[in-house]
Structure 1
Amino acid sequence: MHRVKHPPVRNKIDLTDPGQVRAWTRRLHVSADALKTVVGKVGNSVSAVTKEIELQRVNHQPCAVPPVPNSISSPSAEGELPAPV
């Protein structure tokens, strides 16, 4: 007798399937450990995991506006122009 293999549920991540773990880590650009941590936190729903990973990326990104160098922001002596950047 052959055992029937059921197709995977498309909107859930199965961490017991190495193929799915590999595919989702590549798709979401995270490590397997990070994926397992997020699934443990929000559940195995693809939409919930994707949303949580995007939120983590947004919260951990550095400031989008670069800091102004001190030579431009500091007041210059009278009659002097700031140094070209």
Structure 2
Amino acid sequence: MLRVAVSVREGAISSSTLLKRLRSGSRKNATYTPFREVGRVIRTVRLPRYLTDAPLRRRVTAATNKVESFNRFFQWVGFGNPASSPTTTP
């Protein structure tokens, strides 16, 4: 993981290329596996904090509501052409 971070910082690999590799989700990909495990650790550490911290839950809920409101507005604006809405899948 450190080698990947240094490669991104030095410009040897672009962040978009790294994200494409990680998005593939291949268990054979040597880059994917450690990043998946780090993600699991981060979720495990943050979940108890989220559950016990009421102000944090309120902030997360407020941010989620803003995003959902924007998505509903975007769907309303694009009502004539549902395919133009980013939340609908073809």
Task: Tell me the TM-score normalized by structure 2.
Answer: 0.27
User: Which structure's relative contact order is higher, taking Cα pairs within 8 Å and 6+ residues apart?
Assistant: 1
Computing the radius of gyration from Cα coordinates, the structure with the larger value is 1
Query: Structure 1-normalised TM-score?
Result: 0.29
